[in-house]
Amino acid sequence: MTDRVFLIGLFIATGGLITLGFALTAVLQVRSLEKWPTAEATIVSANIVKTTSARYLYPARNQLSINQSNEVVDDVWALTVEYRYQTDRTEHRGSRATSAPVLENLRLHPTGPSAELLNLLARVPPGAVVPVHVNPADPDDSYLLAVPDPGIPPLLKTGAALVVAGLVILLWTKLKGN
Comparing 59-63, 122-126, 132-136, 160-164, the range with the smallest average pLDDT is 59-63
Alpha-carbon gap, residue 48 to 59, rounded angstroms? 16
User: How confident is the model over 48-84, as pLDDT tens digits?
Assistant: 999 888 777 776 644 544 444 455 568 899 999 999 9
Whether pLDDT at 128 is above 90: yes
How many angstroms separate the CA atoms of 42 and 32, rounded? 24
pLDDT value of residue 71: 52
Torsion of CA 86, 89, 93, 97, to 10 degrees: -20
pLDDT (0 to 100) of residue 132: 97
Domain boundaries, the chain: 2-177
Are 8 and 169 within 8 A, CB to CB? yes
Residue 93, pLDDT > 50, answer yes
C-alpha span between 148 and 7 (Å, rounded):
36
Mean pLDDT of the 138-148 span: 93
| Single-letter code of the amino acid located at 34 | E
Per-residue confidence (pLDDT) for residue 51, from 0 to 100:
87
Q: Is the per-residue pLDDT at 29 higher than 90?
A: no
